[in-house]
Structure formats: structure tokens, C-alpha cells
Amino acid sequence: MSKVLVTGGAGYIGSHILRRLVDDGHAPLVLDDLSNGHREALGAVPLIEGDFGDPVVLDRALGDGTIEFVIHMAAFCEVGASMLEPAEYYRNNLTRSMELLDAARRHGVRGIVFSSSAAVYGEPEQLPLDENHPQNPTNPYGETKLAFERALGWYQQAYGLKFVALRYFNAAGAHPDGSIGEDHAPESHLIPRLLLNAMRGDEAVPIFGDDYPTRDGTCVRDYVHVMDLAQAHVKAIAAMQAGTVSAEAFNLGNGEGFSVLEVIDAVGAVSGKRPATKRAPRRAGDPASLVAASQRARERLNWNPEHAELHEIVRTAWEWHSNHPRGYS
């Protein structure tokens, strides 16, 4: 058992990681300001409510010296917003994250699992993307993720602080028991927006571009179930404990891409009602296709995704929204 601090643990992905940590015998502690998270998603996991970039708060969270690992989930994550407000993204995702990194070093943390992103690659030169693909982000969000990955590398080299950077592709789905799921305000992710439209007639969901060089003209993305992401974080801690990994980045994806129109079809099949959509211009910084090669994670972390099928991903999300039509409120 390890004591693990999870920044942003009250958020969508963070809450699922907590569930997996507890199930696997770890003792998590959450640091979250609840600006985008939900206390109800934590269960019995203790919470320190505060700013992950505040050295005083960090010293309180890490001060007793028993935290072995940090899972860093707290970040802004909207590509479009990063294009409009790059200063906010650099301040939050990089400047404040460096405060966390220095606090981890001060307090003897053994290793950090970093929530990174496929956005570090930019426009793909070949698909599927593996970890050796050139890293040329097309938006400030991806740039900040890449900058922090590089900082982790230098800190490991200079100070021996281990790290694993997990480059997510598109997180989706919910816990299979329907108890926790995705609840953002406002919601910007495709699958929940489509499900909420089908469920309660929310505003028609925009399709951002239908003239991409893809099989049906809409963007193609690799959707990975949130519980499979959670599994990868626990596997990363185990690998650092065992000494088999000390400084490495891994893609997390299914290796299969689905277009926006194919996701709409899946939502219609699962919910029984085809969601309403509307055409919209392309968003700046959006690549046409992003599909992962995740063999490295399967081999080096012993990661075994259990929920790879699109309809199952959508079904678990539908179960959550059906049980919580107004989210956690």
C-alpha cells in the first residue's frame, strides 16, 4: 500500500483513479479547489481543499513525509480556450505545476504520475501515433503539457525524482456501476453532450468541421475508457515501485479511431434517440485525426484495457447520465 496525493482528484478522471487506487489497496489523499470537481465524487477519500500551486497548501498536503507518489491531474484542458487565453494555460498548467514539482522534491516524494495528453504531438505525420512521433503542439494546451513533461525529465536527471507521463487520447465513459461519471459545467466533451441532448433535449451539439480529410469529413479520435485510464495510473505506480520504470512517457488509447459521425451513431443506438446536431466551423488547433499506438504501455506497464468497444464506452456514460440527469447536483 502506498499513500498517494491526487491533485484534481475530485474531477472526472481523477475520481475514477481514486476508485481504482482504493480498490487496489492504496491510500489516496485529494488536493482540489473544487472549481471543476465534485466533493460527491470522492466517496470516503479525504480532501484538502485548496490551490495545488500554493506552496503553503502543498506543504500541508505533503508535510508529514508519508506521501510516496503524486498523481497530477489538476490542469486546464480545453484546446479552444487555450487558443483564446494562452496566459491562463501557461500560468495554471506550467507555473503552478512547477510549484507542485518543487514541493514533491522538498518532501521526498518518490515519483509523479503526470496526466499528459496526445496534444503534445500536434498534427500527425503518421498514424497510429507512437511515443517517438515528433512533438509539435498546435495549441497552448499541448505546449504546456509538453513543457511540463520536459521539466519532469530534467528533475529526474538532476534530483532522481521518478516520473511517468501518461499521454491520454480521448477519455470517455463512466464507472460501470453508474456511481461516478462525467459532470462538467459547461460540458464541452462530445459524448456527454450528445447523451444529454438525447436525454433531455439540450441545445443541438455542434459538429466542428465536416470537410476534414477523413472517411466522412469529421474529426477522428481515439476514445479510451476512463476506467482503463485509471488502471494505467495504478500500473505506473507499481512500475516505479518495482524500479522497472523511472522516467518514461506512454500513450493511452485503444489504437482505433472513430469519427464524430460514428460517435453520433453509437449514442443514438445506446440511448434509443438520435441526438440533434448542427454544423459549425472548424476549431483552431484541431488535428483531423488522432489515433494512438499504445503498445509501449501494454508491454512496459502491463496495461490491459478492459473497455475498448465504443458502444460499451457510450453505454457506461449513458448509465451515469441516466442515474444523474442533472449531474452531481
Same domain, 83 and 215: no
Collect the ranges in the chain with pLDDT lower than 70: 285
Contact (Cβ atoms closer than 8 angstroms) between residue 295 and residue 226? no
Residue 275: cis peptide before it, omega within 30 degrees of 0: no
Q: Is position 12 annotated as part of the catalytic site?
A: no
**Burial class of residue 83 in the structure, from the number of CB atoms within 10 Å of its CB (0-12 exposed, 13-18 middle, 19+ buried):** middle
**Would you call 277 helix, strand, or coil by DSSP?**
strand
Tens digit of each residue's pLDDT (9 = 90 or more) over 168-195: 999 999 999 999 999 988 888 999 999 9
Q: Which residues of 199-217 are buried (b: 16+ CB within 10 A; e: fewer)?
A: beebeebebbbbebebeee
Same domain, 15 and 131: yes
User: Residue 188: its pLDDT value, please?
Assistant: 86
Whole-prediction pTM: 0.95
Same domain, 37 and 167: yes
Residue 156: inside a domain, yes or no? yes
Same domain, 197 and 114: no
Same domain, 139 and 207: no
Same domain, 65 and 101: yes
Same domain, 83 and 129: yes
Tens digit of each residue's pLDDT (9 = 90 or more) over 193-251: 999 999 988 889 999 999 999 999 999 999 999 999 999 999 999 999 999 999 999 99
User: Residue 286: its pLDDT value, please?
Assistant: 80
End-to-end CA distance of the chain: 33
CATH of the domain at 166: 3.40.50.720
User: Residue 283: its pLDDT value, please?
Assistant: 82
Same domain, 138 and 96: yes
Same domain, 153 and 72: yes
Structural domains of the chain, count: 2
Contact (Cβ atoms closer than 8 angstroms) between residue 288 and residue 329? no
Per the listing, cell 459538429 goes with: 207
Residue 182: inside a domain, yes or no? no
Residue 329: inside a domain, yes or no? no
Same domain, 207 and 315: yes
User: Residue 217: its pLDDT value, please?
Assistant: 97
- Residue whose C-alpha is closest to residue 247's, from 100, 131, 113: 113
User: Residue 220: its pLDDT value, please?
Assistant: 95
Residue 328: inside a domain, yes or no? no
Residue 133: which domain range?
A: 3-172+223-252
Residue 177: inside a domain, yes or no? no
**Burial class of residue 180 in the structure, from the number of CB atoms within 10 Å of its CB (0-12 exposed, 13-18 middle, 19+ buried):** buried
Residue 241: inside a domain, yes or no? yes
Same domain, 245 and 97: yes
Residue 305: inside a domain, yes or no? yes
User: Residue 287: its pLDDT value, please?
Assistant: 81
User: Residue 202: its pLDDT value, please?
Assistant: 81
Residue from 12, 141, 168, 223 carrying the catalytic annotation:
141
